[in-house]
């Protein structure tokens, strides 16, 4: 299945992997994540509630969603900018997909761009928690 712009979930995953492959140095990857973090859509303050808070991160991360025509649209925020960059990647890949599509993804994209092994364990745990929350939202909204 594709989104409105005609790209499949896999297309977007491959795009992200391509983008990251041009950086050799981790500091350059961080620069890029910081830019992505800054470009994330504004997240309303009143939606920074405990039920939207992702547990298990050193920084605070909130994930919110809405459903339109059977597709889940995510919005997210974090008080740390690199985390915000990471969550913006997840939003870009998984937003606008159906619950089935999300649940069919193995989320290996985060490993393939080297995020998992290059983040501190606390951060990697946070990443796992973010993915779990996205999957849980998808599972709760299966038709």
125 is a contact residue toward another protein (CB under 8 A)? no
Identify whether 57 is a catalytic site residue.
Answer: yes
Instruction: Pull the structure tokens for residue 90.
Output: 């997840």
> Scanning residues 35 to 94, which ones bind another protein (CB under 8 A)?
58-60, 79-83
Query: Which one of 11, 14, 34, 124 is in contact with another protein (CB under 8 A)?
Result: 34
- String of DSSP letters for 8-66: BHHHHHHHHHHHHHT--SHHHHHHHHHHHHHHSPP--GGG--GGGBPTT-SS-EEEEEE
The closest alpha carbon to 101, from 137, 138, 132, 76, belongs to 138
Query: Which one of 3, 7, 64, 119 is in contact with another protein (CB under 8 A)?
Result: 119
Q: Which is nearer to another protein, 85 or 99 (CB)?
A: 85
Tell me how far, at minimum, the Cβ of 80 lies from another protein, in Å: 4
Segment holding 68, helix H or strand E: strand 61-68
* Whole-angstrom distance, CA of residue 100 vs CA of residue 104: 6
Stretch that binds another protein, among 12-20, 94-102, 108-116, 118-126 (CB under 8 A): 118-126
Q: Which is nearer to another protein, 72 or 76 (CB)?
A: 76
* Whole-angstrom distance, CA of residue 32 vs CA of residue 28: 6
Q: Which is nearer to another protein, 34 or 131 (CB)?
A: 34
Q: Give contact residues for another protein (rule: CB under 8 A).
A: 26-27, 30-31, 34, 58-60, 79-83, 119-120, 122-123
């Amino acid at each position: 299945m594709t989104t409105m712009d005609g790209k499949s979930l896999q297309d977007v995953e491959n795009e992200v992997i391509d983008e990251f492959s041009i950086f050799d140095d981790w500091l350059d990857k961080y620069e890029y994540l910081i830019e992505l973090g800054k470009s994330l859509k504004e997240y309303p303050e009143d939606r920074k509630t405990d039920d939207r808070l992702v547990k298990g991160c050193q920084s605070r991360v909130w994930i919110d969603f809405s459903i339109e025509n059977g597709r889940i649209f995510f919005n997210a925020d974090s008080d740390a900018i690199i985390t915000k960059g990471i969550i913006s990647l997840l939003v870009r890949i998984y937003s606008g997909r159906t619950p089935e599509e999300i649940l069919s993804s193995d989320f290996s994209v985060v490993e393939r761009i080297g995020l998992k092994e290059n983040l501190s364990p606390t951060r990697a745990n946070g990443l796992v928690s973010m993915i779990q929350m996205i999957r849980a939202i998808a599972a709760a909204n299966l038709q």
